[in-house]
Structure 1
Amino acid sequence: MSRRAGYEESWDLTYLVEQLRELISRDLQLDDALAEELEDTLARLVLRNQRLRMLQRMVNAERSAEDLEVLRNALEYTDRELLTGLPGLLERLRTALT
């Protein structure tokens, strides 16, 4: 992606998502609260992916810096939420496996 967007994907987030992907590929028996948290996290990951794709399209279309800034800020906010919540979710999922 062009550096004009002013956004770089977090390697920490990528690592956490890969761990999540590995855990949910197993046959998990989750309580309702954990299943709901997992579902919410997956929905935020979908939203993040949509925002990232939109940002890429906007960069390619050479949209205004203000438009890019708004979307970049939304993407960074979503990333911060995920970076905050994913470690705890991963730990609870690991506990559910044992």
Structure 2
Amino acid sequence: MPAGFQCFNASGVLTFEALDYIGRVLGRIAIVGANGPGSIVDAGLLAGTPFGIFFLTSVSTGLNTYKTVTITINGSTLSWTFVDGSTAGNSPDGFIIYGLK
């Protein structure tokens, strides 16, 4: 007999099964663009396959002039830098959620 795990919503639609990924969030970092690039060290990043996602909250001037955020994870260190967009731009404010896949 096959075995497994599946979850369905009230309409009977499959929403989760055993082969789906569930990530584990390790932390949240507030990013103030005016402060420039930065990094944090979290030993938890060594326990699996790490990820980091940037969420934009504001830009100090028009949305047409901004810099994007690049996240790099090397061992237990998560770093972020700002990459110029199409114009000189401003560094955005936001936050990074990071964890393990």
Q: TM-score, normalised by structure 2?
A: 0.28
Task: Select the structure of larger CA radius of gyration.
Answer: 2
Return the structure number with greater relative CO, CA threshold 8 A, min gap 6: 1
Which structure has more strand as a fraction of its residues? 2
